[in-house]
Amino acid sequence: MSPLNLPASTPLRPLRTAIVVGASSGIGEALVRRLAREGYLVAAVARRRELLDELCAQVNAVCGETRARPYAHDVTDYASAPLLLKQIVQEFGALDLFVYNSGIQIPVAVDEFDFAKDLAMYETNLLGALAWLNPVAAMFQALQAGQIVGISSVAGDRGRVGAPAYNTSKAAFSAYLEALRNRLTRRGVTVTTIKPGFVDTAILRSAGAKKTFWVIDPDQAAAGIWQAIKTRRQTAYVPGQWALLMLIIRHIPSFIFRRLSF
């Protein structure tokens, strides 16, 4: 055991290491549980320490050993991201997988234009991601190994009337992940973009979405994301049927799309 009571990786039982940012609820919480079951040591990172403590206690009780450790962090504290990354890598001894899952969606009325709301979404959904992923990418590039997973959204595939800033933040995040992939693939690093559809989380409920379909729970989302991680997919829609639907939506002419209400 390490000083932190983390189990040691051995040839007979190799343990990989992961960081999940945005781990206290929803998809992030489900991913921590899934990765721990799949043999990862997981650093669970989020603002709400009490939820992280409860999550890690449950995960470790199920696994019978320390598989998850909590790290309280606000992703809008950009300067602390590389410092916490360094701390976790030192404590875990390595890093194989990094997942950025933090995201917020603040409801806006169709005739509302609120910079403060827009800025809050950009700070969490995009700027927080850059603060973490730049140092992670630099580290993996030097190691010529590792996998980055970004949880984007189908919402980033087109600009909708109901959520301009949220759509933009996710579109920008997807473009950034693609750029990282184009840089890092040649260096042995995998970058995976996940685009979930409707997932039964606080974000979906807070957005006040009235027309939803194909809604899945966080555990189902985590299962789909895990398959994308295992197969080192470049881009994966979760669940998979969204890929065909979004292909159609992306090709609707703009003069028609702008008249739609979603």
Does the pLDDT value for residue 28 go beyond 80? yes
* CATH class as words, domain 16-257: alpha beta
Residue 221's SS3 state is helix
Cα 19 to Cα 137, 176, 229, 238, 251, distances in angstroms: 13, 19, 13, 21, 36
Catalytic residue among 40, 71, 100, 166: 166
| DSSP for 54-100, written as a single string | HHHHHHHHHHTS--EEEEE--TT-TTHHHHHHHHHHHHHS---EEEE
Give the CA count within 13 Å in the CB-facing half-sphere of 97.
27
Q: Which residue has tokens 């989380």?
A: 201
Question: Is 100 known to be catalytic?
Answer: no
Q: Which residue has tokens 């140092």?
A: 135
**How do residues 36-88 score in pLDDT, each as one tens digit?**
999 999 999 999 999 999 999 999 999 999 999 999 999 999 999 999 999 99
Over residues 199-207, mean pLDDT: 75
**How do residues 56-70 score in pLDDT, each as one tens digit?**
999 999 999 999 999
What is the rounded distance in angstroms from the CA atom of residue 162 to the CA atom of residue 164?
Answer: 6
What is the rounded distance in angstroms from the CA atom of residue 2 to the CA atom of residue 7?
Answer: 7
Tokens linked to 214: 């194909």
Which residue stretches of 93-201 are H helix? 115-122, 128-143, 164-184
Please, which residues have CB within 8 angstroms of residue 115's CB and are 6 or more apart in sequence?
Answer: none
Tokens linked to 212: 């939803």
